[in-house]
Amino acid sequence: MSELSVNHLLGIKYLNKKDIELIFETADHFKEVINRSIKKVPTLRDITIANIFFENSTRTKLSFELAEKRLSADVINFSASQSSVKKGETLIDTVNNILSMKVDMVVMRHPNPGAGIFLSKHVKASIINAGDGAHEHPTQALLDSYSIKEKLGDVGSKNVVIVGDILHSRVALSNIFALKLQGANVKVCGPKTLIPKYIESLGVEVETNLKKALEWCDVANMLRVQNERMDVSYFPTTREYTQQFGVNKTLLDNLNKEIVIMHPGPINRGVEITSDVADSNQSIILEQVENGVAIRMAVIYLLASKIK
């Protein structure tokens, strides 16, 4: 019987190819469920899930909450801004207090890389990492690959370029792991200052010319410039960034093929991507959001099956 090789989803790094296939197969079924007139199944009615967000989030939090509710789990939400964390409580104490209210699973976003891994070693609950600093954002990478598979039929041997702020992006790192695991070719593209040293050691190529990168790829995943994580200035002006690394309609029309445009959101319209591209037929940005719910249902379902 197939089951996940892990008890927590801390990062794509800890998954194998079979895990990803199982998650995608399960997500197919949940995608059918969420397109019914009654979009809910009673599977997790005896499971309680805590969504603990130490960092802002709209899409991911809503998507997780919706996925949990579609599976009939009981859900409690917790945001650090309104909590005792401000009074000096430690992460383990906070989580253990929540767990003593009989919670089975924790979905956590935290600004520190490795927070999920740390927690999984110290508390008794299934942990899903919903983003830990600039480290990983596994469900985003899964839904990105799932969306590529849905659009192009397969991920293996496809050429994918990740454009933008690679240095601060957990989405980039998780995507690189996920895409490589499935056999895709990956390039990263962005200002040299925003591309980490030694990134080639992950098996990806660096391309600093956006036009060349777009000509090579089947899929372009456009990332947001994460101003909130930048302590120093990595490029002169936003305008200059847009001129060199922003995707616009003219650029796409001059390619000799039609590529797929993705964006994990939130979009800075007019910076990394223009409105006419974001809203065009080539863009699968809203499909990504829909698939996000199905993928998260699949991950929660598969991890919950392992709770004894």
Percentages helix, strand, coil for the chain (3-state, rounded to 5) are 45, 15, 40
- The footprint of another protein on residues 56-115 (CB under 8 A) is 71
Q: How far apart are CA 271 and CA 225, in angstroms?
A: 8
- Selected from 17, 18, 40, 121, the binder of another protein by CB under 8 A is 40
Q: How far apart are CA 70 and CA 185, in angstroms?
A: 35
Q: 201-220: buried (b, 16+ CB within 10 Å) or exposed (e) per residue?
A: eeebeebeebeebbebbbbb
1 counts as binding another protein under rule CB under 8 A: yes
DSSP designation for 283: B
Q: Of 78-86, 216-224, 263-271, 298-306, which part binds another protein (CB under 8 A)?
A: 298-306
- Selected from 36, 102, 192, 197, the binder of another protein by CB under 8 A is 36
DSSP designation for 153: S
* Minimum CB distance to another protein smaller for 32 or for 279: 32
* Three-state SS at 120: helix
# residues contacting another protein (CB under 8 A): 25
- Selected from 2, 16, 83, 193, the binder of another protein by CB under 8 A is 2
Give 13: exposed, middle or buried? Use CB within 10 Å, 0-12, 13-18, 19+: middle
- The footprint of another protein on residues 118-177 (CB under 8 A) is none
* Minimum CB distance to another protein smaller for 3 or for 89: 3
305 counts as binding another protein under rule CB under 8 A: yes
- Selected from 7, 17, 21, 32, the binder of another protein by CB under 8 A is 32
List contacts with another protein (CB under 8 A): 1-3, 26, 29, 32-33, 36-44, 46, 71, 301-302, 304-308
